[in-house]
């Protein structure tokens, strides 16, 4: 292998061979972009903002009707009902017998999807002596009683220390105690912990899936945006793409790229001046999908030995995620292309240092073997990976 790495600096050579460049039309446009002031990386403890929309399950009316015979009729009668109906697995049969909704707890909760607890709330059941709460990790699985509450007025319970990323289902039933015997009301709706949704945290808008996991690429959720801000964490070698959140001040972290910066990467705020499909860089080496940042500092793919998608410098590619460039911000080819395709000239770039990689974290680096002389994220080379069944 040629020892070209030592001379690898991401400076444009003074002489750029015209044949090695193809200047996209967009590079010559000046697109007016409203400068966006990205908030500094959050340093304060995260305080979830008020939930934008309260997920309130409709509550059936009926509380004002009093303790009528009709209400009581929904309770299990041990003398006339089949005892099997007391088993948890047969709740569907029980529910289908329901004639009144007023004695059936309806669960709501007020927890964010990422929290490792759930605060269950339900509507008070008239005539109840208390409630029993059941939990399962499968909707149709066996539910285990996790809490028994005495008193009709206690209509809230917090299940603490749940595991993040796990799914939990709950149902509640009221019971009435009379003469030492318990009779049971119908089970509530089955309530699944975790609803996918947006959460505002520290002036950033994040999306969590139904299992409480942060979604680290929301580009398909928010669709194409008219402008982005590129935040480069030089210290951690992460680029986080931000979009504006409509009329609010918040910013949406859209996706994060692993990158390789260098000691000479400047910090500050810049506006991208131009783009190049391929660019001859000092080394000599070549970069794909190059977007200027300032002067001779650019975003570009990991370097190639020649202007050929099949001539990736694998050793350099395997350094992504470390500080190894001579100033440019190297990216995976697919990520460099994303910036090239989606960020118009004059896009704001903020380069900063922080030990916090960013709200979406740092994507993992991938090591290629020496024979994989193309970038697996280069869409022009996907057929090669398909042939080898490697990506």
> In the block, which residue shows the tokens 């699944």?
192
> In the block, which residue shows the tokens 């917090």?
158
Of 80 and 383, which CB lies nearer to Zn ion in the complex structure? 383
Taking the C-alpha atoms of residue 331 and residue 382, their distance in angstroms, rounded to an integer, is 17
Whether the CB-CB separation of 233 and 358 falls below 8 Å is answered with yes
Of 86 and 391, which CB lies nearer to Zn ion in the complex structure? 391
Of 312 and 360, which CB lies nearer to Zn ion in the complex structure? 312
Neighbours of 331 (CB within 10 A): 28
Q: Residue 247 CB, nearest distance to Zn ion (Å)?
A: 43
Q: Residue 309 CB, nearest distance to Zn ion (Å)?
A: 13
Q: Residue 324 CB, nearest distance to Zn ion (Å)?
A: 22
Of 327 and 376, which CB lies nearer to Zn ion in the complex structure? 376
Taking the C-alpha atoms of residue 207 and residue 263, their distance in angstroms, rounded to an integer, is 34
Q: Residue 258 CB, nearest distance to Zn ion (Å)?
A: 17
- Four-point Cα dihedral 271, 24, 259, 265, nearest 10: -40
Q: Which of 142, 249, 119, 296 is nearest to 193 (CA)?
A: 119
Q: Residue 372 CB, nearest distance to Zn ion (Å)?
A: 6
Using the 8-state DSSP alphabet, how is residue 12 labeled?
Answer: B
Phi, psi (degrees; rounded to nearest 5) at 96: -70, -15
By the criterion CB under 5 A, which residues form the site for Zn ion?
376, 385, 390-391
Of 243 and 333, which CB lies nearer to Zn ion in the complex structure? 333
Q: Residue 391 CB, nearest distance to Zn ion (Å)?
A: 4
Of 265 and 288, which CB lies nearer to Zn ion in the complex structure? 288
> In the block, which residue shows the tokens 């041990």?
78
């Amino acid at each position: 292998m040629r020892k070209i790495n030592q001379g690898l600096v991401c400076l444009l050579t003074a002489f750029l061979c015209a044949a090695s460049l193809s200047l996209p039309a967009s590079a010559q446009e000046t697109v007016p972009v409203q400068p966006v002031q990205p908030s500094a990386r959050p340093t304060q403890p995260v305080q979830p903002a008020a939930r934008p929309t309260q997920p309130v399950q409709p509550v059936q009316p009926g509380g004002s009707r009093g303790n009528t015979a009709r209400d009581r009729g929904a309770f299990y009668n041990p003398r006339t009902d089949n005892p099997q109906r007391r088993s948890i697995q047969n709740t569907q049969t029980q529910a289908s017998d329901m004639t009144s909704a007023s004695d059936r707890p309806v669960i709501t909760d007020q927890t964010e999807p990422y929290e490792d607890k759930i605060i269950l709330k339900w509507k008070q059941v008239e005539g109840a002596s208390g409630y029993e709460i059941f939990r399962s990790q499968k909707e149709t699985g066996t539910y285990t009683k996790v809490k028994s509450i005495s008193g009709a007025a206690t209509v809230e319970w917090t299940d603490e220390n749940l595991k993040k990323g796990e799914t939990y289902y709950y149902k509640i039933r009221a019971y009435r105690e009379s003469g030492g015997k318990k009779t049971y009301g119908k089970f509530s709706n089955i309530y699944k912990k975790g609803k996918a949704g947006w959460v505002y945290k520290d002036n950033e808008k994040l999306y969590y899936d139904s299992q409480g996991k942060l979604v680290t690429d929301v580009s398909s959720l928010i669709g194409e945006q008219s402008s982005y801000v590129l935040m480069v964490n030089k210290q951690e070698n992460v680029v986080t793409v931000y979009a504006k959140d409509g009329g609010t001040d918040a910013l949406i972290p859209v996706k994060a790229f692993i990158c390789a910066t260098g000691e000479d990467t400047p910090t500050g705020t810049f506006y991208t001046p131009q783009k190049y499909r391929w660019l001859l860089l000092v080394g000599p080496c070549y970069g794909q999908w190059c977007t200027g940042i300032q002067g001779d500092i650019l975003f570009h793919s990991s370097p190639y030995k020649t202007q050929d998608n099949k001539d990736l410098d694998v050793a350099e590619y395997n350094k992504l995620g470390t500080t190894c460039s001579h100033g440019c911000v190297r990216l995976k080819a697919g990520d460099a292309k994303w910036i090239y395709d989606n960020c118009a000239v004059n896009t704001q770039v903020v380069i900063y240092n922080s030990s916090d990689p960013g709200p979406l974290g740092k994507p993992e680096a991938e090591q290629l073997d020496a024979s994989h002389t193309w970038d697996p994220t280069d869409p022009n080379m996907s057929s090669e990976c398909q042939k080898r069944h490697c990506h």
